[in-house]
Structure 1
Amino acid sequence: MRRPLALAGSAAAATAIGATVRRVARFRPERTPATPVDLDGLDAEAAAGRLADLIRIPTVSYRDRSEIDEAAFERFRARLVELYPAAHAALEREELGDGALLYRWRGATDEPPLVLMAHYDVVPVAGQDWSRDPFSGLIEDGVVHGRGAIDDKGTLVAILEAVEALATEGFTPRRDVYLSFGNDEEVAGVGAQLAVAAFTERGIRPWAVLDEGGAVVRGMFPGVPGQVAVVGLAEKGRLDVELTTSDPGGHASSPTRNGAPAQLARAILAIDAKPFPARLNDVVLGMVDAVGRHATGPLRGVFAHAGSLRPLLATVLSRAGREANALVRTTVAVTRLEGSSAGNVLATTARAHLNIRIALGETVESTVDRLRRVIDDPRVELRVLPGGADPSRVSRVDNEAYALVAAAANAAYPDAVVAPYLMVQASDSRHFSEICDSVYRFMPFDVTREELSALHAADERISIAALHRGAGFFRHLIRSV
């Protein structure tokens, strides 16, 4: 959905992207006073205890299924029934594949359903320096600690807290509400794809889908001091590439110049020296349009003319920090390096693993082509690994679904500016883009920069207050739709 210069693909795809560009560019949200969410009947301490209980079950995902503790995943699924009896009495539940959960809460009408998503698998903790046991579920000083506290058991618990409270009072939603809880999101598994397949087989096209993604943050946007609730409209593509170089090798006492590691190092340095260009895609332009009017100082004038200052704003954001930089360009991270298996033996093969997040308007194919041009060395073999995907489609902002999600965010956080956002990570929700044009990515938690940086890292945690308000957000949304 970017400028024509960055587009790739068919004319029909370009036309569809252009239509989305015009919708996002026209987006002018009005800040209206919101009635704060009703938190009565939602027990913050009890919710924290239930989240802690679920954190203690180590549902760690591995690409090698032989490493997975299947019994832990079974315990987790069983524990949900025990912790949320009213929800499980009111909703129909089915298991898909190896443990993805799909719940249906029948509504009073046959209108298209709302789908609320989360995943209950988590990433490993090996090699990380935690200050507390990552699976203790420790509650301390108003904070729940442990792997999955935010990503993504916190969201799952906030959803179920809302559903449990509503089911207990006998509430029936206007439209069907589905809960899609994945068991393999962290390894780009198939749980969400199975859910989409089930919807497709049953002829169901969701009204809206809400998954993890943006959050309520401060200091993310340059020049804007207050809270911003960023709702993801799309997510970047993903690609894993392996670079390999070879050499005859030999004893380390007689090294040769330009061996396999040196060839690989030059390729990596070439990529690092020539990053993908920074360009202001139109989802980020929509964010600038919504948030920039609340900036202070000279940036306010810059943001007021965002549409005509794209190159300048792309530069500003690319230099504003890691998160902002990732919004405006395809990023390449070297995550693994391999060489000789012995300290005194020259490497016959050297390898590097590149994890790449593809910007809107670019594709897997165009990304690989550029890497080959930048490396410009026939001795470096570039292999595309399975699991790559182009950027997702861009969801609508000109409809009731987005308006109600934004209204619920404003009800939960009345002082926050709600803005569209580009998710730089991948999520299960990209699969639902195949059957729904209103797929949003938003975790209704106010989190600090330090808390965000702990995702997939040591000392992941969430405040009890944020969890409580998140449950209020979901209850408000369900009541609204």
Structure 2
Amino acid sequence: MFRFAAALAATTLVAGSAAQAQTGAQQPGEAGFRALYKELVETNTTFSAGSCTLAAERMAARLKAAGFADSDITLFTPPDRPKDGGLVAVLPGKDAKAKPILLLAHIDVVEAKREDWTRDPFTLVEEDGYFYGRGSSDDKAQAAIWTDLLIRFKQEGYKPRRGIKIALTCGEEGGGQVNGAAWLAENRRELIDAAFALNEGAGGALDAPGGKPVVHNIQAGEKSSVSFRLEATNPGGHSSRPVPDNAIYQLAKAIDRIAGYQFPVQMNDTTRAYFGKMASVVGGETGAAMTAIVANPADAGANAILSRDANYNAILRTTCVATQISGGHAQNALPQRANATINCRIFPGEPPAAVRDALVKAVGDAKVEVSQAPKGRGEKTAPPLTAQVVGPIEKVSAQMWPGIPVVPLMQAGGTDAGPLIAVGIPTYGVSGIFYDPDLGRLHGLNERIGVKSLLDAREFSYRLVKLYAEAK
């Protein structure tokens, strides 16, 4: 998982604004939520040594204990991948004509070595206002909130107007497991059919560790990850007799030309809304540049100012960067082959073929072949930010964090939203989890999440999903 919003806000915004909503006394069902969350974090779901299937089975057991019927719970496992399973569960709605809401979270986690961590990464530790553990944030916080939400509704006897589904899936982190969201979209589309889905991908930003909130984001759309291969070939020869025509030199020149190429600015509804709202929050020269770029995407001055920040640059355009390189076959021979991987993050709606054409033009050397790698996350489009989607988020956010702006965001990285959007399920990232400037050390050592942030997010999701479930 890649989360851009909190890092951007925390590093560029002026601190201030209203204090985060206080949790005060223990929330209803909090003890049960903490136990569920602990069990989920302490179930190892890494590719090397864990099992998503076991985690899904444990969550299913909790749902059944809360009164869910077997018919409301589906445990699934992709063929020949017994550890890559997941779970879909539903709280049926009263109106059979109203499409359900889908709550999506992945339960696989990035690898973690005990010798590198201060604490055992697969033992949930509460210390100094934080929960520590691999997956304590990414993404078992959200998975625990969604599972607990269904249990809480069931125990309250709540019967929503439209059904509420959860899908806990494996393989989002790309560590080798089957991607469960994509597998469901391709093989069991009916299980996840929904009017729209809520997912990870955005949250809120705190101005300092454990500090005050400054912005709350909604993710609508993300860039596609597509890699291209550059390859230069040559007859080669003995290194004692060098010639100007050298495959490594050709490749180096091609890479240098790509490094100097900047794709044009592109805007969509999400990025226009993002820069438009952030302009007044950020202020100064950068804020003025945001206003200018929304008014005129071809404004060279505004482009230059915003492009100096890697985070802003990442959502202004398609970006391509060299990530791998290899060449030659012997130290005493002229290279016969040299190649490089160029990883591109493509702006929603732009065809990969158009990106390849731009790379070919930038390279400007017919002897360097540019081809698309076979694997990628494919083309993506941004789902519409309608009033029906945004309104409830703004309402609950205003209740819990008065005065904190709700700002749409397009992700520069990728989540499991893509496979769902591809089959017609608009998917939005919103969590109510506010992050420290270090993003909770996601994917890194000593991953953590604020206890207060997690519990506030649990309450936020409870209120938000109820609004969606009753909306007509």
Q: TM over 0.5: same fold?
A: yes
Give unpaired runs (5+ residues) of structure 2. 1-19, 79-84
Amino acid of the structure 2 residue aligned with 1:419: V
Give unpaired runs (5+ residues) of structure 1. 1-33, 62-67
Aligned to 1:108: 94
- For residues 38 and 360 of structure 1, do their structure 2 counterparts lie closer, same or farther at Cα, with a shift above 3 Å needed? farther
Q: 1:385 aligns to what SS in structure 2?
A: strand
Compute the displacement of 1:333 (Å): 3.0
Equivalent position to 1:396, from 362, 378, 384: 384
Of 192-201 and 152-161, deviating more is 192-201
- Cα distance in 2, alignment partners of residues 255 and 290 from structure 1: 58
- Cα distance in 2, alignment partners of residues 130 and 275 from structure 1: 39
Compute the displacement of 1:127 (Å): 13
Aligned to 2:58: 79
Equivalent position to 1:57, from 13, 28, 43: 43
Aligned to 1:182: 169
- Cα distance in 2, alignment partners of residues 419 and 150 from structure 1: 21
Q: 1:244 aligns to what SS in structure 2?
A: strand
Aligned to 2:254: 267
String of CA shifts for 1:272-307, please: whole Å, max 9, x gaps. 111223344432111122333444446556656664
Alignment of 1:168 with 2:155, yes or no, is: yes
Aligned to 2:353: 365
- Cα distance in 1, alignment partners of residues 268 and 256 from structure 2: 27
- For residues 468 and 257 of structure 1, do their structure 2 counterparts lie closer, same or farther at Cα, with a shift above 3 Å needed? farther
- Please give the TM-score of this superposition, normalised by the length of structure 2: 0.79
String of CA shifts for 1:10-54, please: whole Å, max 9, x gaps. xxxxxxxxxxxxxxxxxxxxxxxx998998535667645644443
Alignment of 1:335 with 2:341, yes or no, is: no
Aligned to 1:89: 68
Equivalent position to 2:305, from 302, 308, 316: 316
Contact 2:46 2:108 in 1 (8 A): yes
Amino acid of the structure 2 residue aligned with 1:79: R
Contact 2:275 2:294 in 1 (8 A): no
Residues paired across the two proteins, number: 434
Q: 1:393 aligns to what SS in structure 2?
A: coil
Of 237-246 and 122-131, deviating more is 122-131
Aligned to 1:407: 395
Aligned to 2:338: 350
Equivalent position to 1:191, from 160, 166, 180: 180
Compute the displacement of 1:386 (Å): 2.3
Amino acid of the structure 1 residue aligned with 2:182: Q
- Cα distance in 2, alignment partners of residues 197 and 38 from structure 1: 44
Aligned to 1:431: 419
Contact 1:213 1:423 in 2 (8 A): yes
RMSD: 3.6
- Please give the TM-score of this superposition, normalised by the length of structure 1: 0.78
String of CA shifts for 1:155-181, please: whole Å, max 9, x gaps. 111212322223222222221011122
Contact 1:96 1:191 in 2 (8 A): no
- For residues 137 and 303 of structure 1, do their structure 2 counterparts lie closer, same or farther at Cα, with a shift above 3 Å needed? same
Amino acid of the structure 2 residue aligned with 1:212: E
Alignment of 1:227 with 2:214, yes or no, is: yes
Compute the displacement of 1:114 (Å): 0.6
Of 177-186 and 381-390, deviating more is 381-390
Of 174-183 and 97-106, deviating more is 97-106
- For residues 410 and 393 of structure 1, do their structure 2 counterparts lie closer, same or farther at Cα, with a shift above 3 Å needed? farther
Identity, in percent, stands at: 25
Compute the displacement of 1:240 (Å): 1.6
Amino acid of the structure 2 residue aligned with 1:369: D
Of 391-400 and 127-136, deviating more is 127-136
Of 285-294 and 84-93, deviating more is 84-93
String of CA shifts for 1:181-222, please: whole Å, max 9, x gaps. 2212233955223433567558x85222111112112579xx
- Cα distance in 2, alignment partners of residues 35 and 305 from structure 1: 34
